[in-house]
């Protein structure tokens, strides 16, 4: 009995001196499951990697110019850029160009539907009123806008409560007035005319027309 007591005392002494590590420190950490990794990479839940370690928090931005295959979105972006450049004084349409645009654009506020053909024809008609230098400037601004959208996409934490994230819709949402909600609506209703609805695009078009009126 005395030997057992002495042995127990010796073990307690060794543990107190740190000779034997604690059991909890020796317990291996269970790695996250594949499902957890996928879920957290999509921005759901707490990342399993340390906060100071970079990780794939969002999917990479797709390349290409998706809006060019969606004529209504293409028109929305073109008129947004035109408004910006006219407002900043970088594009100054001639009186003839201003008159042509004032005649062309108000119809967008009244059209019950737009559709691919109408959107394409309107966009081409807008560009035809501008000089070659102005069209080139709009193209450069378009590329810069696409780059900003890609940058925002890589920095954003994106999660969709109702299923996988549609990266294309999110990316386009950074480029058009009305955002991702409008992009989704246009994909569901291809003939939708955003300028007929009260909102960002109708307000933008009216502002552009007001700027053109100043250039009579």
Do 74 and 67 form a contact (C-beta atoms < 8 A)? yes
Provide the pLDDT for residue 214: 82
* Bigger pLDDT: 179 vs 154: 179
Provide the pLDDT for residue 68: 60
Q: How far apart are the first and last CA of the chain?
A: 110
Mean pLDDT is lowest, of 6-15, 72-81, 92-101, 119-128, for: 6-15
Using CA atoms, how far apart are residues 113 and 96, in angstroms rounded to an integer? 28
Give residue limits of the domains in the chain: 66-213
Provide the pLDDT for residue 150: 86
pLDDT (tens digit, 9 = 90+) per residue, 118-169? 999 999 999 999 999 999 999 999 999 999 998 888 876 665 555 566 788 8
Using CA atoms, how far apart are residues 6 and 13, in angstroms rounded to an integer? 10
Chain mean pLDDT for the chain: 76
Provide the pLDDT for residue 170: 86
Provide the pLDDT for residue 132: 97
Using CA atoms, how far apart are residues 170 and 207, in angstroms rounded to an integer? 26
pTM given for the model: 0.66
Do 58 and 38 form a contact (C-beta atoms < 8 A)? no
pLDDT (tens digit, 9 = 90+) per residue, 49-81? 223 333 333 433 343 455 566 899 999 999 999
């Amino acid at each position: 009995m005395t030997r057992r007591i002495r042995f127990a005392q010796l073990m307690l002494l060794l543990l107190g001196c740190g000779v034997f590590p604690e059991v909890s420190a020796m317990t291996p950490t269970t790695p996250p499951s594949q499902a957890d990794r996928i879920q957290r990479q999509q921005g759901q839940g707490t990342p399993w990697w340390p906060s100071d370690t970079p990780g794939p928090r969002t999917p990479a931005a797709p390349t290409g110019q998706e809006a060019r295959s969606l004529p209504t979105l293409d028109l929305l972006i073109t008129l947004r850029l035109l408004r910006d450049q006219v407002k900043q004084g970088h594009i100054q349409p001639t009186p003839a160009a201003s008159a042509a645009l004032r005649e062309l654009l108000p119809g967008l506020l009244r059209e019950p539907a737009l559709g691919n053909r109408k959107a394409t024809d309107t966009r081409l008609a807008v560009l035809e009123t501008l000089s070659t230098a102005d069209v080139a400037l709009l193209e450069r601004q378009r590329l810069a806008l696409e780059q900003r959208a890609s940058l925002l996409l890589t920095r954003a934490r994106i999660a969709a409560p109702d299923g996988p994230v549609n990266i294309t819709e999110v990316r386009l949402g950074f480029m058009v007035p009305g955002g991702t909600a409008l992009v989704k609506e246009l994909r569901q209703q291809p003939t939708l005319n955003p300028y007929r609805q009260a909102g960002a695009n109708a307000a933008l078009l009216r502002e552009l027309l007001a700027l053109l009126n100043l250039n009579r």
